[in-house]
Homo-oligomer: A and B are copies of this chain.
Amino acid sequence: MAAAPVRRYDPERRQRIIDAAIRVVGAKGIAGLSHRSVAAEADVPLGSTTYHFKTLDDLLVAALRQANEAYAPALALRGGEDLAGALARLLGELLDADRGRAELEYELYLAALRRPALRPVAAEWCEAVVAALSDHTDPVTARALVAVMDGISLQVLLTGTPYDEPYARDLLTRVLRPT
Q: Which residues of A contact B (CB under 8 A)?
A: 29-31, 103, 106-107, 109-110, 112-114, 119, 122-123, 126, 140, 143-144, 146-152, 154-155, 157-161, 167, 170-171, 173-175, 177, 179
Q: Is B114 a contact of A159 with CB atoms below 8 Å?
A: no
Q: Is A109 a contact of B158 with CB atoms below 8 Å?
A: yes
Distance A179 CA – B173 CA, assembled complex (angstroms):
8
Q: Is B31 a contact of A158 with CB atoms below 8 Å?
A: no
Distance A151 CA – B170 CA, assembled complex (angstroms):
17
- Contact A103-B114, Cβ < 8 Å, known A119-B158, A158-B119, A171-B175: yes
Query: A interface, by DSSP: helix, strand, loop or mixed?
Result: helix
29 residue pairs from A and B, CB less than 8 Å apart: A29-B114, A30-B114, A31-B31, A31-B114, A103-B113, A107-B114, A109-B158, A110-B110, A112-B159, A119-B159, A119-B160, A122-B158, A122-B159, A123-B158, A126-B155, A126-B159, A140-B167, A140-B170, A144-B171, A146-B151, A147-B148, A147-B152, A147-B155, A147-B171, A151-B151, A151-B152, A151-B154, A174-B175, A174-B179
**How many monomers of this chain does the complex have?**
2
Chain B residue nearest in CB terms to A157 = B113
